[in-house]
């Protein structure tokens, strides 16, 4: 568990304030740190589309926690963006920065078809090549984009607004909340009082560095990339780059110059988010429980997981055991047999 202690520390700060964000916080924290990597010219840093229901924490996380904790790296942007405005922004906003918008529908809605196409054209070019030019104006650099999308608005407007060439440059993180978790969120908010927002300072580097990926992990990475492609999440080559970047950024975050097995398991533990996950399912609750225990430095038994998750989700112990068996077969968690069965950790 020491291999992931810094990731755990930052995730714990977010999840302690935003109920239900234990899994969600992982990609939102790790992927901006791909700016630390010494990437090849044809490799892009990781970008994320955070798709959750309205009023469940996107603005709080992206602006009030991450941007305010890292003002040097998260520049302020206009609430509404046009391609012509982008070209007039100061050069420093394009040089190893993280751009955030809490709802991309708000940015794009109300624009004409031509304006939307120009805006997507900028992101397609800049996120792929690191530069964009038009009418004698040129911007160069590297940015990471973490854009929020309200799930309700995306269903109504998103497919008509965004071209696939644009969305293929973003890994989606799709998360819904069960009725029980909605109640828990309201209870937490009503009893919170004047609790301070967490300060989550990400360890950005002034100069990019090289992180080694041992050859033994490439087979697993390639299988995951093909799975994401087959499920229509992201094209396979972009998915491979995204996964490798995640592994390397997480290794660097935890002070290692080389990717290890714990990095791979952390990515696989959050994998359901990329297909669309509901907080009320046994699968998500099992993953959350193991991750939360690991963040506390605990290894948990299968019986502990069964008792905790069955009571939260209202499913049978057998159902939870099936989830644990799947996690073992997929290699999403560390596990070993003890005298009383399996124990688990990340």
Terminal-to-terminal C-alpha distance of the chain: 6
Q: Is the pLDDT of residue 316 over 90?
A: no
The predicted structure's pLDDT at residue 29: 98
pTM over 0.75: yes
Q: Kindly state the average pLDDT of the residues 89-106.
A: 93
Evaluated on CA atoms 248, 253, 255, 261, the torsion sign reads negative
Q: Look up tokens 């069960």; give the residue.
A: 178
Q: Could you read off the pLDDT of 53-92 as tens digits, one per residue?
A: 988 899 999 999 999 999 999 999 987 788 888 888 999 9
Q: Return the closest-CA partner of residue 214 out of 260, 250, 254.
A: 260
The helix or strand, by DSSP H or E, that contains position 224, with its residue range, turns out to be helix 218-230
The predicted structure's pLDDT at residue 164: 87
Q: Kindly state the average pLDDT of the residues 100-116.
A: 89
Establish if 179 belongs to a structural domain. Answer: yes
**Long-range contacts: 17-22, Cβ < 8 Å, 24+?**
17/60, 17/65, 17/195, 17/197, 17/198, 18/57, 18/60, 18/61, 19/181, 19/184, 19/185, 19/188, 20/56, 20/175, 20/177, 20/181, 20/184, 20/185, 20/279, 21/57, 21/61, 22/288, 22/291, 22/292
Q: Could you read off the pLDDT of 144-158 as tens digits, one per residue?
A: 999 999 888 777 777
Domains in the chain, number? 2
Q: Give the torsion through C-alpha atoms of 138, 144, 149, 154, to 10 deg.
A: 60
Is 153 found in the same domain as 55? yes
Is 190 found in the same domain as 309? no
Q: Return the closest-CA partner of residue 343 out of 296, 293, 309.
A: 293
Q: Kindly state the average pLDDT of the residues 213-222.
A: 98
Is 288 found in the same domain as 176? no
The predicted structure's pLDDT at residue 7: 98
Q: Could you read off the pLDDT of 25-42 as tens digits, one per residue?
A: 999 999 999 999 999 888
Looking at residue 289, which CATH number applies to its domain? 1.10.10.10
The predicted structure's pLDDT at residue 338: 84
Is 224 found in the same domain as 307? no
Is 152 found in the same domain as 183? yes
Is 90 found in the same domain as 176? yes
Instruction: Return the beta strands (E) in 29-170 as ranges.
Output: 48-52, 95-101, 131-134, 137-140, 142-150
Is 299 found in the same domain as 275? no
Establish if 2 belongs to a structural domain. Answer: no
The predicted structure's pLDDT at residue 193: 66
Is 274 found in the same domain as 251? yes
Q: Is the pLDDT of residue 296 over 70?
A: yes
Looking at residue 59, which CATH number applies to its domain? 3.40.50
> Do you know the residue count of the chain?
346
Establish if 1 belongs to a structural domain. Answer: no
The predicted structure's pLDDT at residue 135: 80
Quick one: pLDDT band at residue 98, thresholds 50, 70, 90? Answer: very high
Residue 341: domain span: 281-346
Is 193 found in the same domain as 340? no
Quick one: pLDDT band at residue 105, thresholds 50, 70, 90? Answer: confident
Is 53 found in the same domain as 145? yes
Q: Is the pLDDT of residue 246 over 80?
A: yes
Q: Average per-residue pLDDT in the chain?
A: 93
Is 309 found in the same domain as 213? no
Is 81 found in the same domain as 213? yes
The predicted structure's pLDDT at residue 79: 79
């Amino acid at each position: 568990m020491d291999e992931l202690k810094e990731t755990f520390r930052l995730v714990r700060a977010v999840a302690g304030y935003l109920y239900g964000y234990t899994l969600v916080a992982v990609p939102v924290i790790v992927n901006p740190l791909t700016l630390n990597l010494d990437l090849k010219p044809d490799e892009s840093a990781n970008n994320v589309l955070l798709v959750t229901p309205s009023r469940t924490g996107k603005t709080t996380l992206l602006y009030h926690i991450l941007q305010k904790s890292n003002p040097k790296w998260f520049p302020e942007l206009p609430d509404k963006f046009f391609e012509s405005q982008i070209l007039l922004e100061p050069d420093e906003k394009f040089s190893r920065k993280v751009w955030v918008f809490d709802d991309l529908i708000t940015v794009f809605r109300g624009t004409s078809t031509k304006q939307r196409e120009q805006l997507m054209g900028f992101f397609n070019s800049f996120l792929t090549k690191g530069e964009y030019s038009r009418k004698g104006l040129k911007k160069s650099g590297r940015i990471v984009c973490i854009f929020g999308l309200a799930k309700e608005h995306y269903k109504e407007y998103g497919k008509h607004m965004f071209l696939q060439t644009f969305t293929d440059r973003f890994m989606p993180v799709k998360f819904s909340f069960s009725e029980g978790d909605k109640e828990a969120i309201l209870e937490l908010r009503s009893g919170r009082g004047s609790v301070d927002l967490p300060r989550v300072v990400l360890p950005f580097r002034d100069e990019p560095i090289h992180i080694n990926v041992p050859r033994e992990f490439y087979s697993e990475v390639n299988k995951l990339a093909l799975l994401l492609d087959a499920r229509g999440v992201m094209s396979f080559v972009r998915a491979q780059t995204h996964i490798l970047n995640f592994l390397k950024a997480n290794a660097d975050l935890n002070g290692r110059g080389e990717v290890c097995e714990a990095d791979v398991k952390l990515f696989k533990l959050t994998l359901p988010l990329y297909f669309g996950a509901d907080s009320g399912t046994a699968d998500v609750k099992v993953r959350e429980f193991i991750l939360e225990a690991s963040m506390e430095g605990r290894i948990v038994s299968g019986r502990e997981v069964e008792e905790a998750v069955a009571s939260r989700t209202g499913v049978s112990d057998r159902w939870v055991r099936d989830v644990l068996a799947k996690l073992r077969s997929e290699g999403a968690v560390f596990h070993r047999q003890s005298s009383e069965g399996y124990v688990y950790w990340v």
